[in-house]
Amino acid sequence: MLIGYARTSTLEQEAGLEAQVRDLTALGCKKVFSEQVSSVGQRPELDAAIEYVREGDTLVVTKLDRLARSVTHMGELVARLEAKGVALRIVSLGVGEGGLDTATSTGKLMLNVLASVAQFEREMMLERQREGIAKAKLAGLYKGRKPTARAKADEVRALAADGMSMGGIAIKVGIGKGSVHRILSDSAGR
């Protein structure tokens, strides 16, 4: 049986997630697990998909970067799947009509090569990003992200004074619970 997994990093990528689910369904996936979470965060739907698959199944993803964040992580995922007798198919790799399938020895080799290239590409992108930020800072053009929580401190304190919970304040104001706690702790220390 084909089981699909789709992921995008942010909520703004809704169309990308929908496209992945549509493509996986069109490929014949009987069940598709999907989530919107960073590749470095906890991915409960990926864990659920791996738990769900059974011997003889194939886990299908549209692109390599939707599944793993590094060669090491890819190796761990493939090992988990192989231990269950499950193959992995990555559709959009340009390696043939069916994509890459770890059910074959050539597919396993190609996966390792392509995962290494993908990790190298990501590391190069991050290096260029760091260099660009450093250059912008030197030129006085980089200010960083605006501190959204501090700008909402008065509203947080007012809602807390009205008896609203930290979780409720976080949702209402649109900041993290930790930020609410920090604002209220700073206020108490004054």
Catalytic residues: 9
Q: 3-state SS of 93-119? A: CCCCCCCEECCCHHHHHHHHHHHHHHH
Q: Residue type for 41, please?
A: G
Q: Residue type for 30, please?
A: K
